Amino acid sequence: MPVNAGKRKRAPMPRGMSRLKMHAMRTMAEEKGLLNGKTQMLRGRMPETLVRAARKNTGIESDTELIRLGLETLANQDNYGTWLMSHYGTIPPGVDLEY
C-alpha cells in the first residue's frame, strides 16, 4: 500500500497572493471589527477572465470567500505594512522555530 494512501492532497500554493497575506487580511479585518455584525447580500456581474485570474491567484473557489478577500484587501489596503510591523517580535515564546 502506498505511503500516501488515504491522505488528502494539499491544494497547490497559489501563484499570486500568499496564504500568509490572505490570513493577514482576514486578521486585520477582524481586529478592526469589520467582520462583526449583520451580514449583507452583495452580488454583481464580473468578467469571467477577472474571476478566473482571481481564483488562480488565490486558490479560492467560493464566490463568497473571493468577494470577502477582495473587500478585506480594499479595506486594509493602506494599512498592511503598518499592521505587519506592529506585530514585529510578537511570536509567543513557546513557538518552536526549528525545522
The answer to whether residues 47 and 41 touch, using CB atoms and an 8 Å cutoff, is no
Residue 78 has pLDDT above 80, yes or no: no
pLDDT tens for each residue of 34-49: 999 999 999 899 999 9
Query: Considering the chain, what is the average pLDDT of its residues?
Result: 82
Q: Are 58 and 51 in contact (CB under 8 A)?
A: no
Alpha carbon distances (Å) from 97 to 22, 23, 86, 87, 91: 22, 19, 20, 17, 10
Asked if residue 49 belongs to a domain, the reply is yes
Q: What is the pLDDT of residue 67?
A: 94
Provide the domain count of the chain: 1
Q: Range of 50's domain?
A: 44-77
Mean pLDDT in residue range 9-22? 69
pTM score, two decimals? 0.61
User: Would you say residue 70 lies in a domain?
Assistant: yes
Q: Is the pLDDT of residue 14 over 70?
A: no
33 falls within a domain: no
Query: Does 71 fall in a domain?
Result: yes
- Does residue 57 lie within any of the structural domains? yes
Report residue 83 as a C-alpha cell.
499592521
